[in-house]
Structure 1
């Protein structure tokens, strides 16, 4: 009886899972494994809670197919090798990822597999088109989105795979207990898991045609909210793209943006730490009080405060609000984008290295944007995308009694900002660079 291990990382599903489907077809017994890695713990209570719900749902799906999810705690490389010895596995499969940590983990796992005479294979599955599959002439990756989008639309794609009908686990393998479900920090955060994600996708597809008209309406909330399920691999991005259909559709274009940042990160793994744009001059302020006010939604700029309060309540923020809040931090307050990246990284259910860092660098002008000096005036953005102020009044109840466009004017500004209602306000002096950003 031939046995193999499938190491789940952030690909927590059974549908269109190339590593799982291929391994189940090729081996008699398959051990689905997830290792709770202490190196990744405590970065985001919201994502930890979502992850644990995903694991519970994945275990249920595997049990329906005769298998189970084996859970271990510790270093994923050491635990995988240890389990391989216990079950007599001859191969390990996993989904390829692009972050610095994931690539280092795969290199370490490959070295240990070679040392223990195990075959290791990394499969696609985290993107629609694999990072590195599309390359411009004379370059290792696309640095500008538009030509990448054209190539992405024309690219051949693999065929989405059905969930395996049967997963045969070796007898006597201790599967381990599911971790206790933590509370998280955002009281209104959505539940995790492939089952929830697939149900949300089914409910979203019938209103897909409304997306071009509604996706920028802050109060209307006309986006799919599928991003947390894509981030944890509860949904296959390829399956989502296939079911959406038209490759030129604005919603499908957003899936391409996701792939774009993955191929950027694969080529430039230091994206979360270092300016992507060569030769860019970074001249940031470091002001703890201003950063705290922005984080807590008390800047005095209503649309900014509304977005940050939504983030803290839901572990999610409307994409337009992300642009506005990030633009305010970097272009008006002139605070380092890495500080904003860290705040989003703590609260966002969908926060990952590629998309979180790529979008922050785009807004800050240090990334791939061909117009790095562009800015977002939050007052004008609010008047355009929240014209009646419903979004602001929902999240800033202090302004509930303010009617009409006046709700978007700066409010309760501390000195020295109080002297003007014009935007942007003058900036107070800032302190030295904190050690954690040096």
Structure 2
């Protein structure tokens, strides 16, 4: 039944193309309120940081422009998301509020509170599950379990799941008369400096990058995605995180390529969905070990600082960390190397690294960031929890000519990426063989139940 007014509450779906929330609202109502609430509650969580605030501000401005091109506009409110949504719904007479489903504890609490408040006022909340992931969390489950804990069997089922069709962007959006705050600026969201090389946010930029990616680089993804110097990944992750690009549309368009590169890329999209379904079933995995190893992590303040600053004395690790600080982004292989070095080589709690990544990554979200960190630390879903990535061996394999290292470590550009003890580049802060022995001993001790601190 078509209603007079519906409200489309934007969260992590800042786009007009293939947006189930906006599409359903326009389909089912004569007029639609496209609403974004600058949620003051989430600011207190520490999740809103300068890099993501800048990207968000870009994305909201771009979304507003796309809606205006269709005769509408983005309505912005500032405050508690529940209170502001209910206030706008009451002011405009919206009978239905549409929202994309989330998997974090925060998103779940928001949804439950909103449903309760709206129902008490005689209004309906409609949650659209297939908006943030291609396959909704919980749609695939093994027998007698609420989620898949291992990727490979999940991927087999995921590949055969009937993914919904791609929805068109609305031709027109008619918005009722309702007050709006100004579009937020980055500094008003999270004051502070941003990374100098931060990407531009918004759906327009996402679709430009997508067109370029599909036109050529995707075909070579399988053979080049781990080549650090080649910079051969899609760089679409920030746009997926903010919902500037639909994962469903990306999946359909990648599958249409039917190449080895496309198949490898689709597998990475499945990993993204896999982590979301894990977090949906185990929301405590954002902060607690998914599979406890009873680690007694080191509190190594100096080592942590050296790692954060890219001054460990291991060039490929330091290059990765400096790229993170400069761009607010790093390729997947660099993330694995940096995370393994912190958790396995330095034997530092994965939560320390995950927090640092969330402070800088423009694509940082709870599902992928936290669960990837747990995978590397061996407390997550990795079936080989004690594997250690040797940074020297990894550099030889994925940056054999030192191009990636020289790009991010100017002090090594004329030294063939070889550290000079007399120069400004530091000596290694840890011996790899000793560090591996320390980690192996600590894990063995933890597994046996003996409560001894690891060797320093």
Category of TM-score, reference length = shorter chain: over 0.9
Rounded Cα–Cα distance in structure 2 between residues aligned with 1:378 and 1:194: 36
Q: Pick from 206, 229, 234 the counterpart of residue 197 of structure 1.
A: 206
Give the SS at the match of 1:2: strand
The 5-angstrom pairing of residues 272-283 of structure 1 reads: 272-277=286-291, 279-283=292-296
**Are positions 1:166 and 2:172 aligned together?**
yes
Partner of 1:435: none
Partner of 2:365: 352
Give the SS at the match of 1:105: helix
Q: When the two structures are superposed, what TM-score results if normalisation uses the length of structure 1? A: 0.92
Q: What are the superposed Cα offsets for residues 181-213 of structure 1, whole Å, 9 maximum, x if unpaired?
A: 437420001000000001100000022111111
Query: Alpha-carbon deviation of 1:361?
Result: 0.2
Rounded Cα–Cα distance in structure 2 between residues aligned with 1:267 and 1:194: 30
Partner of 1:397: 410
Q: When the two structures are superposed, what TM-score results if normalisation uses the length of structure 2? A: 0.89
Query: Alpha-carbon deviation of 1:231?
Result: 0.2
In structure 2, stretches of 5+ residues that fail to align are 439-456
Alpha carbons 1:194, 1:229 under 8 Å: kept: yes
Alpha carbons 1:46, 1:349 under 8 Å: kept: yes
Rounded Cα–Cα distance in structure 1 between residues aligned with 2:406 and 2:286: 33
Partner of 2:131: 125
Query: Alpha-carbon deviation of 1:177?
Result: 0.7
Provide closer, same or farther for how the CA distance between residues 334 and 302 of structure 1 changes in structure 2, counting only shifts above 3 A.
Answer: same
Partner of 1:270: 284
Rounded Cα–Cα distance in structure 1 between residues aligned with 2:402 and 2:322: 15
Partner of 1:432: none
Partner of 2:442: none
Give the SS at the match of 1:351: coil
**Are positions 1:63 and 2:68 aligned together?**
yes
Partner of 1:225: 235
How big is the alpha-carbon RMSD for the aligned residues of Structure 1 and Structure 2? 2.0
Provide closer, same or farther for how the CA distance between residues 407 and 320 of structure 1 changes in structure 2, counting only shifts above 3 A.
Answer: farther
Query: Alpha-carbon deviation of 1:426?
Result: 9.0
**Are positions 1:149 and 2:155 aligned together?**
yes
Partner of 1:96: 101
Partner of 2:224: 214
Alpha carbons 1:214, 1:220 under 8 Å: kept: yes
Query: Alpha-carbon deviation of 1:137?
Result: 1.3
In structure 1, stretches of 5+ residues that fail to align are 428-438
Rounded Cα–Cα distance in structure 1 between residues aligned with 2:11 and 2:25: 16
The 5-angstrom pairing of residues 19-58 of structure 1 reads: 19-41=21-43, 43-58=48-63
Q: Pick from 159, 181, 184 the counterpart of residue 179 of structure 1.
A: 184
Provide closer, same or farther for how the CA distance between residues 392 and 414 of structure 1 changes in structure 2, counting only shifts above 3 A.
Answer: closer
